[in-house]
Structure 1
Amino acid sequence: MPEAPPLATEHLTRVVDGQTLVADVSIEVRAEEVFVVFGPSGSGKSSLLRLLNRLDEPTGGTVYLDGTDYRTIDPRTLRRRVGWVPQRPTLIEGTVAENVAWGPTLRDEPVDEARLHELLDRLGLSGFADRDADRLSGGEAQRVAIARTLFNDPDVVLLDEPASSLDAAAADRVESLLADVMAAYALTAVLVTHDADRARRLGHRGVRLHDGGGVATGSLDALLSG
């Protein structure tokens, strides 16, 4: 019997007050790939992403994590296993290290200092561990948010246009470092973007959305030229 994909959706749907935000989307995300959710503004990209770790609840269909219906998984456990990097980071008051270690700290788990520093190094933040989070640039703060999510060792990482709020130079830096860290740790990720060039540089396969529905899935060349 074939192994279940790390993440899959089956007829995933969300309707709110008669408006269809996500319409009957069925996808499979393979291990160690970056799966791109592509489409114009208002097509349902972020709405789909929010369903994948139950930040919002589906009104139809479901999501499977390693073959298990995610409705049977405790939401806190689910959100640790399916990590989220938002468009705009929200950091806690304190140091960079305290932000990165926030998840284990909340769970009263030991903090692996060596792994924390390795992750900061990978994201171009060497020497930043003791810096106050409120002294960071936008690009630095976004990289700390990425490190915080990855430090939880998620099975799947959800990336909601993680460079869209940055200027061009900072966005390019975040994209380059993100590509490196995803390859280094063989991450499985779902990336929301409306930028076809970024999708090509970071992604492997994907789905193109229109009005909340998946109009095409498969290779990025086919999706982005369609």
Structure 2
Amino acid sequence: MLRAEGVQKTWPGFRLRLAFLHVEPGQALAVLGPSGSGKSTLLRVLAGLEAPEEGRVEGGFRVYLPQTPLLLKGSVLENAAFGLRLKGVGRREALARAEEALEEVGLLSKAHLRAQGLSGGEKVRLALARALAVGPEVLLLDEPTANLDPANARMVEALLARAKARGAALVLVTHSPAQARRLAERALFLFQGEVAEEGPVPQALREPRDPRVRAFLEGDF
């Protein structure tokens, strides 16, 4: 579960305001809006990487995946086990659980290769394996399928759907209304740091009330 109330974060020339946000276990919230609207900033605040001046964020164990995966210089297996080791899991158990996660994302055959030698789609899948291995209660994802080929994008979406089925709450920044339809129950639209609209995905995407949201969905923004 993830809950935020009365959040405000300010930078020179920009202010993020969020009155209320709630994501239940096993559900996903899609965050949409034009570039520069504060979507990535919102994720970082929800992840605890940026402290708001006002308000509060509450929730279970959270894992944040930036748009560009942050990988170590070691092997694929070592990368997959890194989060478990940070949590204090013993090396043998961490490696065994990391292998299970790699098998789930289709990378077990590359466990002993250099992580930096993977393709872009494989790096995203490795980052997801590392995240899923630690059993997060909340996954915060910034454009997880951006610049991926269709096959890798489908695999990443399937992994996210599986994480939801296991009870994780997801907050997904996406540029794609179609992806929001496939993965999320609710959608939130940000414009210049303000929530323009929020509601169930079918209604929010089909019958938006805010003219900025209508323009964005029509591709005129």
TM-score, with structure 1 as normaliser: 0.83
Whether 1:9 aligns to 2:4 is yes
**Contact 1:158/1:191, CA 8 A, preserved across alignment:** yes
Q: Which runs of 5+ in 2 are unaligned?
A: 209-221
For 2:192 and 2:29, locate their aligned partners in 1 and report how far apart those are by CA, in whole Å: 19
SS at match of 2:110: coil
Shift of 1:85: 1.0
Shift of 1:19: 2.1
Q: Deviations over 1:59-103 (max 9, x none)?
A: 22111226xxxxxxxxxxxxxx11011111121011111001112
Report the identity percentage. Answer: 40
Q: Deviations over 1:12-38 (max 9, x none)?
A: 111112421x11331111111111112
Which stretch shows the higher mean deviation, 137-146 or 25-34? 25-34
Q: What residue number does 1:223 align with?
A: 204
Q: Deviations over 1:101-143 (max 9, x none)?
A: 1123234421344432222122122322222212211100110
Q: Which runs of 5+ in 1 are unaligned?
A: 1-5, 67-80
Whether 1:30 aligns to 2:24 is yes
**Contact 1:39/1:194, CA 8 A, preserved across alignment:** yes
Over the aligned positions, Cα root-mean-square deviation in angstroms equals 1.9
Q: What residue number does 1:144 align with?
A: 126
For 1:121 and 1:104, locate their aligned partners in 2 and report how far apart those are by CA, in whole Å: 16
TM-score, with structure 2 as normaliser: 0.85
**Contact 1:204/1:220, CA 8 A, preserved across alignment:** yes
For 2:84 and 2:75, locate their aligned partners in 1 and report how far apart those are by CA, in whole Å: 15
Which of 20, 43, 49 is the aligned partner of 2:37?
43
Aligned length: 205
For 1:9 and 1:62, locate their aligned partners in 2 and report how far apart those are by CA, in whole Å: 6
For 1:172 and 1:104, locate their aligned partners in 2 and report how far apart those are by CA, in whole Å: 26
SS at match of 2:109: coil
Whether 1:120 aligns to 2:99 is no
